[in-house]
Chain A
């Protein structure tokens, strides 16, 4: 059995780097002349969400450094017999390993590029205190009821569903459907359609919170700018959780027929001491994308809760 492990990169600092990407290639366009984002996209990347501290403010790898970094991140390791990883199915057995998926080149050393250290900004004292309180409470009550389990375990929303949408461990595929006045972006995992009107309409009433927020798009030249408000105050990077006043701005730019440059900025003064921004590329891939029915097959949550109740019977 093999398993992939993400290891910290210990790479030497080099000052000069390249930012891959070209915008001179003709891109497909819809009947109304807008960039046509339709199709299937892979969000698979080896780029970490936060930059390894050892890299400091080094924002880009050289191509040579990137090659070494990628090789290390994609390494498939033999697992240790008797461990959980050893009895888990091998991710590379089912095409789930990042090495088995198409990936866009990204010389950035982290998805986050602002702040300059490539790491999430500090939380506000109030948000940090709330987070600590939540974590303590969860530690005590994690198996008390279904509602105490993590949102992704309840098949409600994964942290990477966003917005901002982020790569995750596997199933990093997405599908885009586009009409003259809407764009639908649907990630493979959880498979909820983000239905984005492109008319720049006003957000819905502030009292309406949604797991994915409420998104409105408009064109800035050939870039689709999507503004999302109306968060629940319960999601985001889950911990730390975005406040209900968070605003996420995403920019989708079709750099070529094969790549989308996806950029985002999170503004949430109640949670973070500064805004933060990130980017990565999505790479064109092929469909179809099959149904991902998480909740319908969620026997795991029954097992977790029933095991906890059984354990309480044994140790009153």
Chain B
């Protein structure tokens, strides 16, 4: 089937896109604050933002709110982003990394720079999520110029931001990608998760096309940058390195 024909009757979303909002730190309105560690100085500080949520705050159920607060307290070590875990949906969309859309008649394939995570949005042959996964299961269709994606099958281990906001494995996400001109999309995600929230709620933000010549994002496989955080406590205390194992361009293991 023709791969390049998708744009003939529907918006052409092919390209490299990126959000431009500090809301990845915290979806809710927040003042500037110290980050999870002081070791980076102002580089690790959280910039302020008005938030990207309808109604201002996330409508957590009481137990879920307690878990969010516990997540926040442990965010330096437990944020899946710090561990280079696949980010899930919708978090992948508004992280501070670009992503690339590949649009064909059968599917819309998205490759995210962060962790080189991917997802396939089935535009034909829709099926229910066969099992839970980090990036979930996505079925898409067009409503006029809007790409609407129903996401389920998330595993409940992903977070929504660096502040510990989260969804459960029973969350159902409805994403809407609406072009407003050739280089801008409005992205909306409605999160329906009765195990976690008292009502469905929606976040929204613009997405910007990378418009430079030959846009491409380079490889960001972040596992190696998470290893000290995750496994450093298991390093041999007297470990010395002769520089041969220069697997990170950094010969220091301890």
- Enumerate chain A interface residues (CB-CB to B < 8 A): 28-32, 36, 38, 133-134, 137-138, 141, 143-148, 151, 154-157, 177-182, 184, 186, 191-193, 195, 197, 199, 201, 204, 208, 210-212, 214, 234, 288, 290-291, 293, 295-296, 301-302, 305-306, 308-309, 312
Contact = CB atoms under 8 A, between A and B. Distances in A.
Contacts of B85: 293, 295-296
A179 B244 contact: no
A133 B3 contact: no
Nearest to B243: A137
B244 to A, nearest CB: 4
B207 interface: no
B104 A156 contact: no
18 contacts: A28-B1, A32-B4, A36-B2, A38-B106, A141-B245, A146-B230, A146-B231, A177-B107, A178-B3, A179-B14, A179-B104, A184-B109, A192-B219, A197-B214, A212-B219, A296-B85, A301-B231, A305-B234
A125 B205 CA distance: 57
B241 to A, nearest CB: 8
A24 B192 CA distance: 53
B interface: dominant SS: loop
Given A141-B239, A177-B102, A305-B235, 9 more contacts: A32-B4, A146-B234, A154-B223, A177-B104, A178-B3, A195-B216, A295-B223, A296-B85, A296-B86
Interface in B192-248: 214, 216, 218-219, 221, 223-224, 226-227, 230-232, 234-236, 239, 241-242, 244-248
Given A193-B116, A234-B246, A302 B231 contact: yes
Given A192-B221, A195-B111, A293 B227 contact: no
A52 B157 CA distance: 47
B118 A145 contact: no
B190 interface: no
A151 B247 CA distance: 9
